[in-house]
Amino acid sequence: MAPKDLIARRQLLRLASFVAALAAGTRAAWPQAYPSRPVRVIVPFSPGGAVDIIGRVIAQRLSESLGAQFYVENIPTGASNVANVVTAKSPPDGHTLLFVTSSFVINPSYYRKVGYDAIKDFTPIALTAVSPHVLSVNPSLPVANVTELIALVKKNPGKYSYASAGTGQSAQLAAELFKLAYGLDIVHVPFNGGAPAMAATIAGHTQIAFNALPSAATFIKDGKVRALGMTSRTRDPEFPDIPTFTEQGVPDQESAFFVGIVGPAGMPRDIVGRLNRELVRIIALADVREKLTSIGYTAETDTPDDFSALIKAEIAQWAKVIRDSKMQQVE
């Protein structure tokens, strides 16, 4: 072979090798299709509850739109801390997602050790639903609004008690915020869930109840309790006759039980963005909104950055309430 031909051949081989390497590198740089396998959606509560219902509705819609199975796995132990730790330790590839609620932002201050950092160990994806807390009383209590209740309690310190879904739950924190703001002496009686808390108030064992709206909605509609006010910014469309605290001259009491979705820290931005866009679309669907409304929630979503800001603000707010009310931390 002539020298010129040999040189030309070598140049062609080098060029072919370069093109092959470039193509391989380009393929490696391309993001893999997401999702590439079934996606585990962890719900830190038992099947059949409100959060589980929300989780299954959204998981089904994600399965339909993204072409892979999004399946719900319930981990109802450790006050949601176990589910949080499991998620934090999962690969951040978008194939493990977690539904979080207000306990996610309360627990780091309420428990001495939770095994995770709510800010550093997770990637916020989107808010999905919110529900205000509602203050209701036994119909025999001689008050018609929140200001009258404040006046009655101030005249009778220690006489009245309020029921909630449990110690360290968001409703208790909302009640403690209320007590701190007005120096109220009301005894807390915790129950294992919102339903028994409402039952105790209906029976008159506790005169007052502080619970998330889903726990109280049916009893309010049936007239078994009198709702005095909601902690939302605006009136709830399903209960337009119940005024907010602010409307009654009781400001700075806004709080809500929220439901949102996070993943492990370090999730790729393109996957987070795609999930967020799908969730915004799903939450806007009329039948999804109607389903959430039927169980006492308002469909609401936001950007990952907005949800991250909400988580940080909620952590700070409830840490202060726990500290100022001298709530005892638990192991």
Q: Give the DSSP H or E segment for 306.
A: helix 304-324
127: helix, strand or coil: strand
Confidence (pLDDT) at 32 = 60
Paired tokens of 232: 């939302």
Which pLDDT band, with edges at 50, 70 and 90, does 296 fall under? confident
**Which residues does 100 contact at the CB level (< 8 Å), separation at least 6?**
44, 80, 84, 259, 260, 261, 262
pLDDT of residue 5: 45
Give the tens place of pLDDT for each residue, 223-279.
Answer: 999 999 999 999 998 899 999 999 999 999 999 999 999 999 999 999 999 999 999
- Poorest-confidence range of 216-220, 250-254, 325-329? 325-329
On whether the CB atoms of residues 102 and 257 are closer than 8 A, the answer is yes
pLDDT tens-digit map of 304-315 = 999 999 999 999
- Residue 238 has what pLDDT? 87
- Angle at the Cα of 105 from the Cα atoms of 101 and 107, rounded to 5 degrees: 100
Structure tokens at 281: 């679309």
Tell me the per-residue pLDDT of 109-134, one tens digit each, with 9 for 90 and over.
999 999 999 999 999 999 999 999 99
Mean residue pLDDT across the chain: 90
Q: Which of 325, 141, 134, 156 is nearest to 245 (CA)?
A: 134
pLDDT at 58 over 90: yes
pLDDT of residue 308: 98
Q: What's the token pair of residue 325?
A: 């009310």
C-alpha distances (whole Å) from 170 to each of 66, 107, 132 are 33, 10, 10
Show the domains of the chain with their CATH numbers.
39-130+256-324 (3.40.190.150), 132-248 (3.40.190.10)
pLDDT per position as a tens digit, 1-54: 443 443 344 444 444 444 344 344 433 333 468 999 999 999 999 999 899 999
H/E stretch holding 68: none
**Cα–Cα–Cα angle for 203, 209, 214, rounded to 5 degrees:** 100
Query: pLDDT tens digit string along 139-198?
Result: 999 999 999 999 999 999 999 999 999 999 999 999 999 999 999 999 999 999 899 999
Extended beta strands in the chain, E state = 39-43, 70-74, 96-101, 122-137, 161-164, 187-190, 208-212, 226-230, 256-264, 298-299
Judged by DSSP in three states, 19 sits in: helix
